[in-house]
Structure 1
Amino acid sequence: MLNLLRNLTLRQLQIFAAAAQYESFARAAEVLHLTQPAVSMQIKQLEEAIELALFERIGRRIALTEAGATLSHHAKRILGDIKDAENAMRALASADGGTVSIGLVSTARYFVPRQISRYAERHPKVDIHFSIAERDTLLRQLQDNAIDLAVMGRPSVELDAHCEPLAYNPHVIAASTSHPFVDAARFDLHELRHDTFLMREPASDTAAVANEMFQQHLFKPARTLALDSHETVKQAVVAGMGVSLLPLHTLRLELLAREIAILHVNGTPIDRVWHVVHMNAKQLSPACAAFRRFLIEKTGAWLEGQFADLTPTAQVASPFVQT
């Protein structure tokens, strides 16, 4: 019978996790400042200890076996817990040191990095890492303890997590500046029945909001076109290929350049909320707790100020602005 506690070392777990992440012994060796033979030897010893193959070779690359994928899942959690312990010890005296990792859905990239920069100016010893991924990936990373916090629009009701409202997230209908309804004061969504609606992929939050709008208005577009990113959607809108329901916070540069206009459709802007999420079981380090508090207290007011002069819809007071 296997006895991992007796046979497995923390160094082997670190080496295995790096090899699993990069799917390359050479890359793992480079990141860990080891030689490739040293990495190969440690992986071989680990496989001998557990009596299972962890990697298989496919051409010139390696891939995880089923056993490797299972161990990788647990390794992420173990190393994440060790990182938590290290951060807690390092930051016992103050919240001005340590590391924070935060994951963002793609639309949050338009404002959260600026908040990270603002915080870093005040707390230069806090090391904040951020990554961008799909919502489902962020939820898995939270569960695996691979990230401390996540910013997203739709928190999961199934996840045992704490979700705090962060900022007002209005969705508006964007069109090219040559659209015939640009100067219309107010009109019904059905007036756009002949337009092509440019959509994000079905799994995205933005597509979910658009489909909910269609259902509420008993509306069916003449044509929809799914695109792979907000940047692609915006360029298609600028080119006059169609209209799109988009988060207002993704449009600042295009509004400043007067490349995109907001159509005043009845029922818009559609009110949604940004959330900052962490697992209930997660013991936030002092640095992480302080950064989370900064996001909650400062983001709403900052976003409102960024859009106050660009569109009348953004002048509505956010319920999350701290006074």
Structure 2
Amino acid sequence: MLRKNTKLSVYVVFLIIILAFAICYKLFIEDEVLAVVEGEEIRRSQMDDFLQVLKLYNPNMDEMLKDKKEKYNIEHQYLDFLIFNILINNEVNKLELEITEEAMDAFLEDTRSYFIDDVYEDEETYQQRFEELEITDAQMEELAYSEVAKQLLFEHIQQGITDEDVRSYADENPMLLIQEAGYVKASHILVETEDEAWDAYRRLTEGNEDFETLAKEISKDSSVEENGGYLGEVYADDINWDQAFLEGAFALEPGEISEPVKTFFGWHIIKAGEKKETIYYNFEEVKELVRAVKEQEAFNEYLEELWKNADPEITL
């Protein structure tokens, strides 16, 4: 009898161990590590908490997350967001920038007002949704901390941008100064190599060959048979055009032919037709707009450098 009870006890203990292992394994899988950033883990539970908060911002998030493909895209997008939060928080600590309770309280109050006024239309509906999602004060405070840290880092970078930097940035990006975009009715011949481009240029300028005829003969543009290389009105503020092509086209007077111009697509010979000049703002008129664009670009580049140096390990 004693031997039988002993066997039963061993069996029960074995079952308990197996059950405990299964529970631990399930918890481990459910709270898997999605990324490691500068030694800090981002776990599934953190992603789930973050998505709960996002549901406050977007009432349609529940439906979106039911679609597997949509959920995959959302999780990968916001994993990047969580990684950047860690990088920014760590950088703010390194720079010894102070995150005050007043700043966090102000963010939380602004966020609450935004939800009530712009998302849910009244406080009762907002509060009901807040409780329904079981969002905690700690989750909102974590969001506030990260957003205040982001603003502090942005302001830190702002301070390093001088008036000379803004002026240089405007010179490098003339599109920012455009008040009324001009255009040039342009044609082009596209070839693969610089030698081919110079050969085409000489045939046009020294051999006086017809531009449209030569375009149909040698251009690699797939539409050349239909349009003879004619591109229509090319506008100075059209970001779909390669900047080098725009500069080459607008440097010409009507009837002129450019020397070879290198772009992402290859080498071009450009011919200008009718042209309308671009009207530009005076720099001082748009200085603050240019500054804002420059500051945002500098901030983005700073974050890219943080990411590059940290080299996060992503397992999602």
Q: Same fold per TM (> 0.5)?
A: no
Q: Higher helix fraction: Structure 1 or Structure 2?
A: 2
- TM-score w.r.t. the length of structure 2 is 0.28
- TM-score w.r.t. the length of structure 1 is 0.27
Q: Higher strand fraction: Structure 1 or Structure 2?
A: 1
CA radius of gyration, larger in: 2
